[in-house]
Amino acid sequence: MGTNPGGTVHRGRENPAKSGLFMPLKQEVRVVDFDALIVELRTLRDNVAGVTDTVIAAVDGIPIVADAAKSIDPAEVSALAAANLGIARQAAEVTGKGTLRQTVVFSSDGYMAVYAIDRMALMVIMGDRELNVGRLLFECRPVIDRISSILTA
């Protein structure tokens, strides 16, 4: 038994949806294969020289899985990446340049690339100064497609 803010008590055998108080939500439980996501991230790290840390997050910045050093806070990186992706998406739309695929931040000590995974998630790849950005761009598209399939399975 629970009480809603208006003070009406709903008992288990009553159907509040029929009373018009609220519509029940259909709940769908989705199980994400975290191991498969980690395999994709580690394979990318193995195939691209200079990749140091990786994170997959929901588009709102909530981390899903990370393969990163202990010094990296996946929540902080995910939040920054979501903001970065949001601004870049707006820039792509305003300039009429099509659908955003990625952004790359070039810093004095390395790189951070943020990839859109459909409109549901993002992937962050961090690398040192030796990161082969061309190889990263080449390797990421099939990885993103596989991650998208894992997240929607």
Which residue range forms the structural domain that includes residue 111?
A: 34-152
In this predicted structure, the answer to whether residue 65 has a pLDDT above a threshold of 70 is: yes
Task: Tell me, yes or no, whether 72 lies in a domain.
Answer: yes
Q: What is the dihedral of CA 89, 93, 99, 103, to 10 degrees?
A: -40
Choose the weakest-confidence range: 9-13, 42-46, 107-111: 9-13
Q: Helices H, strands E: what count in the chain? A: 4, 7
Task: Give pLDDT tens digits for 12-28.
Answer: 444 444 545 555 566 66
Q: How many domains in the chain?
A: 1
Task: Tell me, yes or no, whether 104 lies in a domain.
Answer: yes
What's the pTM? 0.78
Residues linked to residue 123 through DSSP beta bridges, in sequence order: 56, 115
Which residue type, as a one-letter code, is found at position 48? V
| H or E element in which residue 42 lies | helix 34-47
Task: Tell me, yes or no, whether 27 lies in a domain.
Answer: no
> What pLDDT was estimated at residue 89?
92
d(CA 110, CA 131): 7
Domain CATH number, residue 106: 3.30.450.30
Task: Tell me, yes or no, whether 10 lies in a domain.
Answer: no
Task: Give pLDDT tens digits for 67-92.
Answer: 999 999 999 999 999 999 999 999 99
